[in-house]
Structure 1
């Protein structure tokens, strides 16, 4: 955990330590991953808060697996935003927004959303321009797949079957003609998410962050 670049900068109010000591007041771990199970168990045994860290919504330029440094973190002392089985700090902030989000804050948020959309920013800001020759004319539906075993799938109360249901939902609502299901265009290269979203009319996602980015642009 302490190997995360700039972690102390992200958490200036915390005195970070590698090993627990008697005066430790909280345990920090990475989300709900199995690798954080020991930290969650220690927190429960000592009656301490468990603070979950996760990639922020504007994370980096490139994938973390490829070594790209994280430029934002989500810090949650209640749960984590992708876990629908328990409250999260983000959920609580949204619920209590009338108490703290004044007109100036709303205007700033609107300006930031507009800026994100205008510049094409995304979570990992990777991929090249979309080859528009791959696209068919007419109404376009984007169906977003995800990495098998992604923690957000189970956390979102979904399953592998949810992805089949997603395709079926598109067909049921008339977005995907039955005769076109066998000829879907597979885009499995690195493409800027903003480029894809700019070319489609409807987006179907299970728990992918691209679904959230679609709400910003298409909502």
Structure 2
């Protein structure tokens, strides 16, 4: 019996899925799951095969530039960046939901945020380290909360409520377990260190502490974007409920207030958009 795995895409929404904001993008994978490196996914096979033509790569470069210019991330939440010290190496560590499959399958043996933070401090003894808990965890919608007192044993500051895009523009490096924030940091030209095995690791763009030998190609950023944001996902306009391109979704999300998205229509209407995508 064929099995298809459906997951949120990498440009998800203006708001949290845990607060029932419907996704604006999905991925449908018949091989595996992009967050599980134990077996190849459609995305991994696509990236390993390569062969993207010049027109698609040019489109990918324009899309990446638009994402950065519009301040687009996975959830597109509002918030002001914190004051940060000058003259220090700034390292961001994004938190994750500890029982999420991206941690249990892609964490390379790291099981919680305290363990990750200890490893980051050991790797960056002189850096000013920022820990940003996952917004689902901060909202008490998912498991994995780490007490500030525990986090501050390893980091210099715990930050909450800050918009991610402006924060990424200010840090020097991002250390991740398997968070998509590492991919968003790559789009912005930041140094990315992977302690786990996310979909964007193993292609020569990140420093990988848990290598994935099966991934042998060295990708450009444009190739990664072409595969992960153009060829792999499907997109739906959150206002009209109709299929759209990633470029159109970027512009739509940029036009919406940075809070829980004021989406017209109902979840059923968005669902109808996904049914049209299958056609």
Q: Go from structure 1 to structure 2 and tell me whether the alpha carbon gap of 1:182 and 1:88 turns closer, same or farther (over 3 Å shift).
A: closer
How far did residue 130 of structure 1 move? 1.2
Structure 2 residue 2 is the aligned partner of structure 1 residue 52: no
Using the TM superposition, give the Cα deviation of residue 129 of structure 1 relative to its aligned residue in structure 2, in angstroms: 2.1
1:153 matched to 2:103? The reply is: yes
> Per-residue deviation at 1:49?
1.2
For residues 177 and 184 of structure 1, do their structure 2 counterparts lie closer, same or farther at Cα, with a shift above 3 Å needed?
Answer: closer
Q: What's the counterpart of residue 93 of structure 2?
A: 143
1:87 counterpart = 2:40 = yes
Q: Which residue of 1 aligns with 2:16?
A: 63
State how far apart, in whole Å, the 2-side matches of 1:183 and 1:207 are.
19
- Asked if the contact 1:53/1:76 (under 8 Å) is kept, the reply is yes
2:58 is paired with a residue of what secondary structure?
Answer: helix
Give the Å deviation of 1:141.
1.0
Kindly state the Cα deviation for residue 67 of structure 1 after the two structures are TM-superposed: 2.0
Q: Aligned with 2:27: secondary structure? A: strand
User: Which one has the bigger strand percentage?
Assistant: 2
Relative to 1, partners in 2 of residues 1:121 and 1:158: Cα closer, same or farther, differing over 3 Å? farther
Match of 1:184 among 139, 156, 171: 156
Unaligned runs of 5+ in 2: 130-151, 192-279
Contact 1:82 1:155 (C-alpha < 8 Å) held by counterparts: yes
Q: Is the 8 A contact 1:158 1:206 kept in 2?
A: no
- Aligned in 2, Cα 1:190/1:51: closer, same or farther, shift over 3 Å? same
The TM-score with structure 1 as length reference comes to 0.69
Give CA deviations for 1:120-150 in whole Å, capped at 9, x if unaligned. Answer: 1001111312132xx2222211122212211
Q: 1:183: how far off?
A: 5.9
1:197 aligns with 2:168: yes
Residue 212 to residue 176, structure 1, CA distance change in 2 (3 Å): same
Q: Distance in 2 between matches of 1:85 and 1:97?
A: 21
* 1:3-26 per-position Cα deviation (integer Å, ceiling 9, x unaligned): xxxxxxxxxxxxxxxxxxxxxxxx
Equivalent residue number for residue 124 of structure 1: 75
Bigger helix fraction: 1
SS of 2:170's equivalent?
coil
* CA 1:169–1:128: 2 relative to 1, 3 Å: closer
Q: How far apart, in 2, do the equivalents of 1:213 and 1:82 lie?
A: 16
Q: Distance in 1 between matches of 2:9 and 2:176?
A: 19
Cα distance in 1 between the residues matched to 2:112 and 2:15: 29
Matched, 1:215 2:186: yes
Larger radius of gyration: 1
Say which structure, 1 or 2, has more relative contact order (CA 8 Å, 6+ apart). Answer: 2
Change (3 A) 1:159 1:181: closer
Post-superposition Cα deviations, 1:22-57, rounded to whole Å, max 9, x if no partner, equal xxxxxxxxxxxxxxxxxxxxxxxxxx1110000100
Alpha-carbon distance, 1:185 to partner: 0.6
Unaligned runs of 5+ in 1: 1-47
